[in-house]
């Protein structure tokens, strides 16, 4: 199954339903269900911004799954309009991965990779 690595707290915000669009600098043709992997290194600035403590969230684990249903290429106006759905700043990129059917799963320890990658359970 495909997987995508993200930094905490963005993973947790997606799992809580507070973040419905993942912003990236790159586009993808992939659509469908994928696993959500929490990278080993958190985004400390965002951790503070959203009120999470340093050791509060899992790192280096697959912790959820979601369905990528569409990708939106943002212009500045649309990016600002969707701010409550992606919670990001423009430096994250201008491609919005629209997520649906997000579910938390039993954590699976593993290393992440860049882009979408194939997770094979060992």
Which stretches of 74-112 are assigned E, i.e. beta strand?
95-109
In a domain, 119, yes or no: no
Banded model confidence at residue 122, pLDDT cuts 50, 70, 90: low
Q: State the Cα–Cα distance between residues 40 and 32, nearest whole angstrom.
A: 25
- Could you read off the pLDDT of 63-72 as tens digits, one per residue? 999 999 999 9
In a domain, 118, yes or no: no
Gyration radius from the chain CA atoms: 14
Residue 34: the pLDDT is: 98
- Could you read off the pLDDT of 17-57 as tens digits, one per residue? 999 999 999 999 999 999 999 999 999 999 999 999 988 99
Residue 54: the pLDDT is: 80
Task: Check residue 37 and report its DSSP letter.
Answer: E
For the chain, percent of residues with pLDDT exceeding 70: 99
In a domain, 99, yes or no: yes
The CATH number assigned to the domain holding 107 equals: 2.30.130.30
Residue 95: the pLDDT is: 98
Domain ranges, residue 98: 2-111
Pair type for strands 2-6 and 32-38: parallel
In a domain, 117, yes or no: no
- Could you read off the pLDDT of 86-109 as tens digits, one per residue? 999 999 999 999 999 999 999 999
Q: State the Cα–Cα distance between residues 51 and 54, nearest whole angstrom.
A: 10
SS3 80: helix
Say how many domains are in the chain. 1
SS3 94: coil
In a domain, 116, yes or no: no
């Amino acid at each position: 199954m495909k997987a995508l690595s993200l930094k905490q707290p963005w993973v947790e915000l997606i799992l809580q339903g507070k973040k419905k669009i993942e912003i990236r600098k790159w586009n993808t043709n992939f659509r469908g269900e994928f696993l959500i992997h929490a990278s080993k290194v958190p985004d400390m600035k965002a951790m503070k911004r959203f009120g999470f403590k340093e050791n509060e969230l899992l790192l280096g684990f697959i912790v959820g799954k979601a369905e990528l249903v569409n990708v939106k290429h943002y212009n500045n106006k649309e990016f600002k309009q969707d701010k409550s759905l992606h919670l990001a700043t423009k430096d994250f990129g201008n491609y919005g991965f629209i997520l649906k059917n997000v579910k938390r799963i039993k954590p699976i320890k593993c290393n992440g990779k860049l882009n979408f990658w194939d997770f094979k359970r060992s």
